[in-house]
Structure 1
């Protein structure tokens, strides 16, 4: 990923971005063809691996021992030049994104597989949810497990980009923030918040 120095994301924010935007695009090379899967990936507690699973028929399940690329997209939005203090400007797009490379390894340990599935449910199910996987018929769960390919990705490289108008003046960045905060979209408000936080550092 091309990252000018002023758009470089710090390591702590890379981890935060992965945790806040876990639905990723996992890319690998299969028989000379680039293929991708959209799926959630969780960062391990020690921040050394990403954990997830494929549907068994997915050809990416054959990527055992191979390098893969995981792409995590954060908030993003259009930036109008009409918000600037000058007419000598063009449109652009502000965004955050993280790329993680690593070696994919298929997990076969039943305990690790079960733990990874529990962690997914714990991460995404509402705290007051009535759903409890322990109350689901165990034979049904074991049958479903046969239809997935659990894996871990040993992280070898991470890079993050946060393009938040850092290459513009403080005056212009404040104008952009003010205009984004007037818009109803969640992405626009999230980018405005990140821009304000970056200005206040």
Structure 2
């Protein structure tokens, strides 16, 4: 998390909603061979548990066992030119949004894996409306079950929540508005929109 308190983001419900809207991130764990990372889709199982899966051939899948891990979820980000503030003596920087979640990870029972995959697909299929939601009922009988053998399911019980919204909160409203307009013009609309919706 960014050390400047201006950028700290602590509202747990907002953090949870942000992660739900950005359901792909990186999970980091210490292993016998040193730090390791995997890029994973995930879904909230309840208020403080995240479910995810890894390929069974992923090195982290065999090393993860049970233990403490870190999930990082990145949101919009963009370079900010000093010229955009309308202020003297500024320096280049980077605006970004990110959430870090820490907690204990454990493998889920194999019989729970189909439910996890169903939850993942349903949450993401809903984003494609008005497209009809895909379900595994569309698959040839037996194929889904065979494919499950290639993955391992896990859950993390989140105990530490940390968020960073580095969007120029240490600048004046006028400077932030100027940066937001410049970002839009530069094609960085996602970061500009987050600035407008959050602080302008």
Shared fold, TM over 0.5: yes
Query: What is the 5 A alignment of 1:176-187?
Result: 176-184=179-187
Q: CA deviation at 1:132?
A: 3.2
- Corresponding residue of 1:119: 119
Q: CA deviation at 1:32?
A: 4.2
- Corresponding residue of 1:22: 23
Query: What secondary structure is seen at the aligned counterpart in 2 of 1:26?
Result: strand
- Corresponding residue of 2:145: 142
CA distance in 2, matches of 1:86, 1:131: 52
Offset from partner CA, 1:148-198 (integer Å, 9 cap, x none) = 1111111111100000100111221111112122232xxx21222222223
Query: What is the number of equivalent residue pairs in this alignment?
Result: 195
Segment drifting more, 128-137 vs 167-176 = 128-137
CA distance in 1, matches of 2:67, 2:141: 33
Q: CA deviation at 1:16?
A: 1.8
Query: What secondary structure is seen at the aligned counterpart in 1 of 2:74?
Result: strand
CA distance in 2, matches of 1:4, 1:192: 21
CA distance in 2, matches of 1:92, 1:23: 25
Q: CA deviation at 1:85?
A: 1.8
CA distance in 2, matches of 1:25, 1:198: 25
Q: CA deviation at 1:59?
A: 2.2
5+ long unaligned stretches in structure 1? none
| TM-score between the two structures when normalised by the length of structure 1 | 0.90
Q: Is the 8 Å Cα contact of residues 3 and 161 (structure 1) preserved in structure 2?
A: no
5+ long unaligned stretches in structure 2? none
Pair 1:164 & 2:162 matched: no
Query: What secondary structure is seen at the aligned counterpart in 2 of 1:16?
Result: helix
